[in-house]
Amino acid sequence: MSRTEQGERGTGTVSALRNVLLGSAAGLALLTNAAVPGSANAQTIPSQQGASQAIAFNIPAQDLGGALNAFADRAGLRLLFPSNLVAGRRSAGLAGTLTRNQALTRLLAGSGLTYRFTSANTVTIADPAPTPVGAAPAGAIALDTIDVEGASRSDPGRTEGTGSYTPSVTATATGLQLSPRETPQSISVITRQQMDDFSLKSINEVIDQTPGLSTQNAGSGITNYYARGFAVQSLQYDGLPTSFDNFYPGTDTLKDMAIYDRMEVLKGASGLMTGVGDPGATINLIRKKPTRAFQGYTTLRAGSWEDYRGELDLGGALNESGTVRGRFVTTHQDRNSYLDRFQQKSSLFYGIVEADLTPDTLLTVGADYQRHVPRGSTSGMIPLFNSLGEFNTVPRSFNPAARWSTWEQQAYNVFTMLEHHFDNEWRVKLHLNRQVSGYDATVASASAGNPNPLDGTGARLWRYNFIGETRNDAADLSATGPVWLFDRKHELVVGGRVSRRDRTNRNFDVDPMGPGASNIVPDFYNWTGNIPQPRLIPFDTNPDREIFDESGFYAATRLNVHDRLKVMLGARIANYEARQRLFGDSQQFKKTGHVIPYYGVVFDITDVLSAYASYAGIFRPQAAQNEQGATLPPLEGTNAEVGLKAAFFDGRLNASAAYFQVKQNNYAIPTGGLTPIGTPAYRPADGVMSEGFEMEISGQLSPQWQLQAGFTHSVSQLDNVRVMTLTPANQFTFYSTYKLDGALDGLTLGGGARWMDKTWENVSNPVHGTVLHTAPSYWVVDAMASYKFNDNLLGTLNIRNLLDNKYYTFYNWYNGYAWGAPRSVFLSMTYKF
C-alpha cells in the first residue's frame, strides 16, 4: 500500500489530512479553481518560495499516487488531490536535479492532470476538465481529498519509501546536497530498502554489505572496521561528527539500524566536514524523520539459535494543521548465538518531533536509548596456537567465556536541529548532539596461553573488570546557499563546529583471597565456563580519563565554471587538544590553526558520464604510544583521487570507478614491544603510501531489479613492504533483488555474496617464536525471498552464509582468532498500518 493510500486509512487518526471533502461545495471550488483547463501544468502563484531552487530527485517507477507522495516528501510540499484522481494511473518515475515545477511537470506528463500552487507550500492536483462549483459528477460519492506533505526539508536525500538501492543526494563529503555523480569522491550508501530486504539490523551487518569496507572481530564484542587499508574511526549522526571508540565497546553493538534511514560511507579523507581527515572512510548515519501522513509498521522476526526480535515504528502529524509531526521506534531482541552459552537481550527506544515554527523555520528534537545485557561475553579470542605450535582447531560453537561473563552497555543520544530557509534560497542550520555511552564489564575467558592438545592444560583466563562512561558533545552552525558571480549561480557553505569527548574508566582487580581468584583453565578442550565469579577490588583510586576537545571553521564553494564543469574549493581550520591520564600516567597534546584543504573538480563528458578529481588533507591525532609511553605525533598526509562517474536512467542507476593514492607521515608501525602500561608499542614512520582502485554500481537496472555491487583493491606500503596486512587487499560484494510479476506478482527473490582476500600478520608461536600467520580468503553467500500477501502484510525469509562456509579472522594483539557465523535462517513478518 502506498503512503498516499495509507493517508486514506488515517481518517480517524489525523483529521488534518481529511479537512477537504470532494463532495462539499468548498472542496469542489478549491479543486476546480486550482485547475487550468487544457494545460499540462498550471502556473505557480507569485508568492511560491523556492520555486527556482533545484532539488535532486530519485523516484522510481510506480503508481502515480506513490510517486506524488515521494515528490512531496523530497520537495517539502503539501499536495491536495481527490483520492480517485490517481487511481489506475502510473508514473515513469523521476531522477535528476530539477525545480519543483520541472519535477511536477515530468511526474504528471501523459496523465492529463494539472497542478497549481495555491500557497507557498501547497499544491493542488486536479483534472483539467472542471466540474461546476456546487455540483457533483454523476454517480459520484463523497471522497476524501488526499493531503500529502513533505516529511522534512531537513533530509532531502531520504531513501525510505523509494524502493531504491541508490540515493538521490548526499552531503557527507562537502556539506552541499549533491547527487552521487556530482560528488568528487567515492561514496557508498546502504539504503533503507536494502536493509529491509536483507534484514540488516545492526551496523556490523550493514557494513558487511558495504562495498570497500571490511570487519575484524577483535573479541569482547569489539569489531574493527577498515576501508582502503585503514581503520575507520570517523562517525557522524545526520552529518554531525563524533568518534568510534574502538577499544571500549558501545559504537558497534549500540547501533541498532531500525532508527536510521540509510548509512552513507565517504571513502578517503574527510577533513573538511569531520575536522580530522581520516584516510580510510567516514560513516554517516542518517536518522529516520517524521512524516505528515500517518504511517507505521510492526515486524516480528525469529531465527536460528533462538533469535527473536520485534519492532514497532509509528509516525504522523501531532496536531490538526500538521505543523507538528512525530515518530516513535522501539525494538526488543532476545537472542542466543552459535557460540555456546552466549545470550543477549537488547532494547531500543527512539523518538523525534518536528515542528514548523514558521513556514520557513523547522525545529527538530529527538532522543534514542539503547541497552544490551549479554551473558557469556569473551574478553579475548580463541588462542591461535596450541602448545605444539599447531593451529588450535576448535568447533565454531566454542566459547572461551565464563558463563557469568558480561559486558553490559547502554547509550543515549539527545539532539536538536533548528533550520531556517530564507527567500533568497539560503539556509541556516544549528545542530546540537549529546551522546552518553556507558559500560560495566566483568569478563573472563580462556583466551590466554597455549593449550596442550593431549590434556587441555596450559590455557589461562584473560580478564577485564572495569566501569566506564564516554560523553560526546558536539555543536555545528552552518549556512548554505547560492552566490552569483560572472552571471553564473554558484553554491557556498560556511560553518563552525565544536566538540568534546570525555571518557572515564575505572579498573578493578580480582581479590586474590576471594572466590574465583585463580586464572588457570584446567582443561581447555572441555571448557564449560563453570567457574566462580570473583570478588573485585579497585585497581586505582584515580580512574583513567581522556578529554579530546576539537573546534574548527570550514568553508567550501562549488563554482559553476561552465555548464559541464564544476570546481570545488574548500578548507577547514582545525584546533585540537587532548588530555589523558592512563594508569597514573598523564599526557597532553595541543594543535591550533591547522589548515586542512579540499579541492575537487567534476567535468560532464556526456549527459550521463562525468570525470572527477579531488585532493584532501589528512590530519588525525592518534593515541598510539611508543615503548617509552609517549604519544605519537598526529598522522598527516594527503588523499588524491581521480575517476569516472555515471548516472543512468535519470539517476536511478549510479556507477563509479576510482583510482586513489594516499601519502602519510607519522604512520604508526608496531615495534613488537610494549608500552609501560603493557599495550602494543608503535613508532612513527614517514612516507607510507597507499594506492588502489574501486568500482561500484548501485540502483535500478529495471523497475523490478535492484543491485549494489563493488570491487576494491588497496595496498599500503613503506619502502615496498606492506604495512597493513590484517585487512584484505582485494574484496568484492554483490547484492541484488528482483520483483517478479504475472502469476508470481508479490514475490521478490534476491541474494548476494562477499569475498574477502587473505590476510596475514606476525604472531607469537610457542614453538617457532615470531611467525607469519595467514588467514585464507573466503566467500559468504546470502539469499532472501519475500512475498507481499496484500498491501499491508509482507513476509521475508533470509538465509545467511547459505553454503555454510567455514572461515575466521584473527588479531595479532590477542594472538587469537574468531570463527565466522555458520549458516543461519531468519523469518520476518511485517504489517504496515
- In the DSSP assignment, the letter for residue 649 is G
**Strand pairing partners for 750?**
737, 784
Rounded CA-CA distance 666/686 in Å is: 5
pLDDT at residue 385 is higher than 50: yes
Q: Grid coordinates 537472542 are at which residue?
A: 335
Phi, psi of 645 (to 5 degrees): -135, 145
pLDDT digits (tens, 9 = 90+) for 130-167: 444 444 443 333 334 444 444 345 578 889 988 999 99
- 525: cell is 578442550
- In the DSSP assignment, the letter for residue 556 is E
Of 797, 548, 693, 650, nearest to 95 by C-alpha is: 650
pLDDT digits (tens, 9 = 90+) for 15-45: 333 332 223 333 323 333 333 333 334 343 3
CB–CB of 47/359 below 8 Å? no
Chain-centroid distance of CA 77 in Å reads: 27
- 480: cell is 548554505
pLDDT digits (tens, 9 = 90+) for 76-91: 777 777 656 776 677 8
Name the least confident of 241-250, 628-637, 697-706, 770-779: 241-250
Stretch (H or E) spanning 692 = strand 688-702
Average pLDDT over residues 245-251: 47
Of 718, 495, 600, 475, nearest to 178 by C-alpha is: 600
Instruction: Give buried/exposed letters for 260-275 (b at 16+ CB in 10 A, else e).
Output: bbbbbbbbbbbbbbbb
Angle at 36 between CA 34 and CA 40, to 5 degrees: 115
pLDDT at residue 539 is higher than 90: no
Average pLDDT over residues 742-771: 95
Is 2.40.170.20 the CATH classification of the domain at 285-290+297-402+409-520+542-622+654-832? yes
pLDDT band at 674 (very low <50, low <70, confident <90, very high): confident
Higher pLDDT, 803 or 717: 803
Of 196, 123, 203, 213, nearest to 160 by C-alpha is: 196
Rounded CA-CA distance 313/330 in Å is: 7
- 504: cell is 572515564
The CATH number of 180-284 is: 2.170.130.10
CB–CB of 150/74 below 8 Å? yes
- Residues of the chain above pLDDT 90, percent: 55
Q: Give me the residue spans of the domains in the chain.
A: 3-149, 180-284, 285-290+297-402+409-520+542-622+654-832
What's the pLDDT score for residue 480? 94
Of 246, 241, 243, nearest to 172 by C-alpha is: 241
Instruction: Give buried/exposed letters for 444-463 (b at 16+ CB in 10 A, else e).
Output: bbbbbbbbbeeebebbbbbb
Q: Name 492's Cβ contacts closer than 8 Å, sequence gap at least 6.
A: 480, 481, 482, 483, 555, 556, 557, 558
Average pLDDT over residues 582-593: 79
Q: Name 672's Cβ contacts closer than 8 Å, sequence gap at least 6.
A: 681, 762, 770
Rounded CA-CA distance 119/116 in Å is: 9
Name the least confident of 73-87, 418-432, 470-484, 769-783: 73-87
How many CA atoms lie within 13 Å of 123's alpha carbon, on the beta-carbon side? 31
- In the DSSP assignment, the letter for residue 37 is T
CB–CB of 86/68 below 8 Å? yes
pLDDT band at 276 (very low <50, low <70, confident <90, very high): low
Question: Could you count the other beta carbons within 10 Å of the beta carbon of residue 212?
Answer: 25
Average pLDDT over residues 593-602: 92
Round the CA-based radius of gyration of the chain to a whole number and report it.
28
Of 38, 251, 185, nearest to 243 by C-alpha is: 251
- SS3 (DSSP) at 638: strand
Rounded CA-CA distance 474/241 in Å is: 8
What's the pLDDT score for residue 723? 84
Q: What is the dihedral of CA 28, 32, 33, 38, to 10 degrees?
A: 170
Chain-centroid distance of CA 88 in Å reads: 36
Question: What pTM did the predictor assign?
Answer: 0.83
Rounded CA-CA distance 347/413 in Å is: 14
Q: Grid coordinates 522501539 are at which residue?
A: 330
Rounded CA-CA distance 470/218 in Å is: 20
What's the pLDDT score for residue 318? 95
Rounded CA-CA distance 24/703 in Å is: 39
pLDDT digits (tens, 9 = 90+) for 170-195: 888 888 889 999 999 999 999 999 99
CB–CB of 614/597 below 8 Å? no
Q: Name 731's Cβ contacts closer than 8 Å, sequence gap at least 6.
A: 212, 214, 711, 712, 754, 755, 756, 757
pLDDT band at 756 (very low <50, low <70, confident <90, very high): very high
pLDDT band at 220 (very low <50, low <70, confident <90, very high): low
Handedness of CA 695, 700, 705, 708 (dihedral sign): positive
Q: At what angle do helices 64-75 and 100-108 cross, to 10 degrees?
A: 180
CB–CB of 156/74 below 8 Å? yes
Handedness of CA 74, 78, 81, 83 (dihedral sign): positive
Stretch (H or E) spanning 108 = helix 100-108
What's the pLDDT score for residue 74? 76
Indicate the CATH number of 3-149 among 2.30.40.10, 3.30.1490.20, 3.55.50.30, 3.30.450.40: 3.55.50.30
